[in-house]
C-alpha cells in the first residue's frame, strides 16, 4: 500500500510539472524569423565582382607543401582591390599569412577581424569551373566563395569604405588572414604569437564558425544568425594491435584486426562519453523555443523538465545535436597487412576526437585508453587539443555581435552555437578572451553542402549585409 501511495504521489507530481510546462508554453510569446535581404543592385553587383576576382585567384593550401609565394600573389590582388586599406594600415606578412593594423585613436581594447584566404582542393565535375568566379543565377560560383573569401572581402571592403569617408576608429583595428586554416597549419598561430610579442590583447575577435542559416533545428524555419561561442577541442589517436603474424590458412583467435574491430564495435554501440547540456546549448534552445510550434516549444521552452529526456533521444536522432552535447569520436583511417593471405603483425585504426568542456580532453582520452586495454589494444595520442574558452552570452562582445545582426539583418533570430569543427580562432586564446565565431553571410542548405564539396557558391544579394555588419562592429567600439 505504501508503494502505491508513493507511485500516486509521483504521478501527481509529474502531472503538476506537465501542467506547469503547458502553462509556461501557452504564455510564451510566439516569434517569427522574417529577415529578407533588401535589394541593393549597385552594391550587390560591385561586391559580387570583387568576390569573383578573389575566387579566380587559386589559393589551395596543401599539407606539408608550403607555398607562400602563391599567397603573396593573392596579397597583391588585395592591395589592388583595397588601396586605401593598404595605404593606411601597417602590413605584416609572415610566411604568406597577412596582418594589417589600422591605427585607432587609442591603443586600448583593440579588435581583430579575420578570415582565412586558403581553400581546399576542388575535384569532381562542377557546374561552373571552380576557379572561374562565374556570376550566374544570382550567385557567385567557385571554391572559397563561402569558405571564407566572402567574409574576407566584406571586412576589407567595410574598412575601405570607412577610410574613404575619412573615418578613424576609436581603437586599433587588426585585419588578418591566414593561409593554412584548411590544413590546420601554423599560419594563425604565427599571427597570434606575433600579436603576443607586441603586447597586444584583443577586446574582441571576429572569425568564421557560425553564419545565418535556415532551419537551425527541424521544425523551426526562418533565418537565424548562429554565433559560435566556443569550439570543441581537437584530438587524433591511433589504436594499435600486434601479434606474431602468420599464414591466413590457419588463423588463431585474437589476431590484430579482430581485436581492433571489437574495440570499434564496442565504442559504436556503447557511447563511452557523457551526454550533457552546456549553458550555451540551454541558451540556444531557450532562444529558439519561441520560433517553434507548440509541441517543440513545450519541450525546448521547459528544459527544467525535459532535459533528461532530450539527453537520451537527441544523440539518437541527430549527429549534429549529439556533437553539441558530448565528446565525439570518428574512426577515419586503418591499416593491416599488405597481403590477402597474410595475418598482420601490426594493425591500426586512427580516430579523430572533438572534446566537449564538461568531459574534456584528458578525461575523454583516459576513458578510451581504459577501453583499449580491455580489448588488448594500445592507444597512442597523436594530438591533444583542448576546448576553447566560451564567450559570455551576457558579455559585451556577444551583445555587440547581436546588436550588429539586429541592425543589419532585421528580423533574423539570434542564438549562440557550439562550433563542432575547427577554426583559426582557437589559436588566439592567449591574446583574446572574446572570440566570436560568426560570418555575416546567409547560407542556404545547398550552400552549406557545397563547402568542401561540389559547386560551392554564395548568393550575390547577401554581400551588402555582410559589409554593413563589419562597419557596425568597427564603428561601435
154-208 pLDDT, tens digit per residue, is 999 999 999 999 999 999 999 999 999 999 999 999 999 999 999 999 999 999 9
Chain centroid to CA 407: 23
303-317 vs 2-27: helix crossing angle, rounded to 10: 90
Helix (H, G, I), strand (E, B) or coil at 416: strand
Give yes or no for residue 405 having a pLDDT over 60: yes
Q: What is the pLDDT of residue 286?
A: 94
Helix (H, G, I), strand (E, B) or coil at 125: coil
Cα dihedral across residues 191, 193, 194, 196: positive or negative: positive
**Higher pLDDT, residue 324 or 28:** 324
Side-chain-side CA neighbours of residue 53 (13 Å): 17
How confident is the model over 98-123, as a mean pLDDT?
A: 97
Confidence of residue 252 (pLDDT cuts 50, 70, 90): confident
Topology of the domain comprising 230-384: Alpha-Beta Plaits (3.30.70)
- State the Rg of the chain over Cα: 25
Confidence of residue 6 (pLDDT cuts 50, 70, 90): low
Neighbours of 14 (CB within 10 A): 11
141, 128 in Cβ contact below 8 A?
yes
Cα dihedral across residues 261, 262, 266, 272: positive or negative: negative
Q: What is the pLDDT of residue 253?
A: 84
Neighbours of 260 (CB within 10 A): 24
Which residues on adjacent β-strands are paired with residue 423?
A: none
Q: Tell me: the pLDDT tens digits for 112-161?
A: 999 999 999 999 999 999 999 999 999 999 999 999 999 999 999 999 99
Whether residue 293 has a cis bond before it, omega within 30° of 0: no
Q: Tell me: the pLDDT tens digits for 37-76?
A: 889 999 999 999 999 999 999 999 999 898 999 999 999 9
- Using a 10 angstrom Cβ sphere, with 0-12 exposed, 13-18 middle and 19 or more buried, the burial of residue 447 is buried
Asked if CATH classification 3.40.50.970 holds for the domain at 41-209+394-407+417-475, the reply, yes or no, is: no
Instruction: Return the DSSP state at 149.
Output: I
Q: What is the pLDDT of residue 8?
A: 57
CA distance 401 to 235: 30
Q: What is the pLDDT of residue 289?
A: 93
CA distance 277 to 36: 32
Altogether, the residues listed in the chain come to a count of: 477
CA distance 277 to 322: 10
CA distance 215 to 449: 14
Side-chain-side CA neighbours of residue 210 (13 Å): 28
Place of cell 572561374: 132
* Domain-wise residue ranges, the chain: 41-209+394-407+417-475, 230-384
CA distance 101 to 89: 5
CA distance 279 to 276: 10
Q: What is the pLDDT of residue 12?
A: 63
Total-model pTM: 0.93
How confident is the model over 21-26, as a mean pLDDT?
A: 78
Sequence-separated (6 or more) residues with CB below 8 Å from residue 47: 153, 154, 157, 460, 463, 464, 467
303, 17 in Cβ contact below 8 A?
no
Where does 144-204 have alpha helices with state H? 150-164, 187-197
Angle value at C-alpha 344, between 340 and 348, nearest 5 degrees: 110
Which residues on adjacent β-strands are paired with residue 106?
A: 171
Where does 270-338 have alpha helices with state H? 279-288, 294-300, 303-317, 319-325
Which residues on adjacent β-strands are paired with residue 177?
A: 98
CA distance 221 to 238: 41
41-209+394-407+417-475 against 230-384: fold identical = no
Whether residue 189 has a cis bond before it, omega within 30° of 0: no
For 170, list phi and psi in degrees, rounded to 5.
-70, -25
Amino acid at each position: 500500500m505504501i508503494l502505491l501511495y508513493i507511485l500516486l504521489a509521483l504521478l501527481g507530481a509529474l502531472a503538476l510539472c506537465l501542467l506547469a510546462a503547458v502553462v509556461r508554453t501557452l504564455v510564451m510569446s510566439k516569434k517569427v524569423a522574417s529577415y529578407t535581404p533588401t535589394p541593393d543592385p549597385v552594391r550587390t553587383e560591385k561586391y559580387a565582382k570583387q568576390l569573383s576576382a578573389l575566387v579566380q585567384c587559386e589559393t589551395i593550401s596543401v599539407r606539408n607543401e608550403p607555398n607562400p609565394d602563391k599567397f603573396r600573389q593573392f596579397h597583391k590582388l588585395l592591395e589592388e582591390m583595397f588601396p586605401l586599406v593598404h595605404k593606411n594600415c601597417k602590413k605584416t606578412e609572415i610566411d604568406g599569412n597577412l596582418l594589417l593594423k589600422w591605427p585607432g585613436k587609442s591603443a586600448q581594447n583593440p579588435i581583430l577581424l579575420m578570415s582565412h584566404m586558403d581553400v581546399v582542393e576542388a575535384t569532381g565535375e562542377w557546374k561552373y569551373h571552380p576557379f572561374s568566379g562565374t556570376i550566374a543565377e544570382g550567385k557567385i560560383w567557385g571554391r572559397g566563395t563561402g569558405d571564407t573569401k566572402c567574409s574576407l572581402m566584406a571586412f576589407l571592403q567595410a574598412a575601405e569604405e570607412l577610410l574613404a569617408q575619412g573615418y578613424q576608429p576609436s581603437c586599433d583595428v587588426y585585419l588578418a588572414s591566414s593561409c593554412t586554416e584548411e590544413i590546420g597549419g601554423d599560419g594563425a598561430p604565427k599571427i597570434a604569437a606575433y600579436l603576443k610579442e607586441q603586447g597586444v590583447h584583443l577586446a574582441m575577435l571576429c572569425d568564421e564558425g557560425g553564419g545565418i542559416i535556415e532551419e537551425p533545428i527541424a521544425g523551426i524555419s526562418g533565418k537565424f544568425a548562429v554565433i559560435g561561442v566556443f569550439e570543441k577541442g581537437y584530438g587524433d589517436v591511433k589504436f594499435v594491435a600486434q601479434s606474431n603474424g602468420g599464414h591466413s590458412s590457419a588463423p588463431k583467435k585474437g589476431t590484430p584486426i579482430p581485436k581492433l574491430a571489437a574495440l570499434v564495435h564496442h565504442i559504436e554501440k556503447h557511447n563511452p562519453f557523457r551526454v550533457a547540456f552546456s549553458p550555451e546549448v540551454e541558451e540556444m534552445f531557450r532562444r529558439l523555443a519561441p520560433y517553434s510550434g507548440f509541441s517543440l516549444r513545450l519541450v525546448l521552452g521547459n528544459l527544467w523538465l525535459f532535459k533528461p529526456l532530450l539527453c537520451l533521444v537527441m544523440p539518437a536522432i541527430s549527429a549534429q545535436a549529439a556533437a553539441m552535447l558530448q565528446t565525439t569520436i570518428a574512426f577515419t583511417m586503418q591499416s593491416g597487412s599488405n597481403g590477402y593471405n597474410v595475418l598482420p603483425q601490426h594493425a591500426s585504426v586512427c580516430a579523430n576526437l572533438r572534446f566537449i568542456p564538461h568531459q574534456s580532453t584528458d578525461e575523454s582520452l583516459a576513458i578510451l585508453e581504459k577501453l583499449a586495454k580491455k580489448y588488448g589494444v594500445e592507444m597512442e595520442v597523436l594530438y591533444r587539443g583542448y576546448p576553447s574558452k566560451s564567450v559570455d552570452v551576457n558579455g559585451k562582445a556577444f551583445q555587440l555581435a547581436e546588436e550588429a545582426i539586429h541592425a543589419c539583418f532585421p528580423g533574423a533570430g539570434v542564438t549562440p552555437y557550439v562550433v563542432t569543427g575547427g577554426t583559426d580562432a582557437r589559436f588566439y586564446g592567449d591574446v583574446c578572451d572574446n572570440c566570436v565565431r560568426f560570418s555575416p553571410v546567409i547560407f542556404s542548405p545547398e550552400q552549406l553542402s557545397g563547402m568542401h564539396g561540389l559547386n560551392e557558391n554564395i548568393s550575390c544579394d547577401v554581400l551588402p549585409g555582410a559589409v554593413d555588419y563589419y562597419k557596425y562592429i568597427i564603428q561601435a567600439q
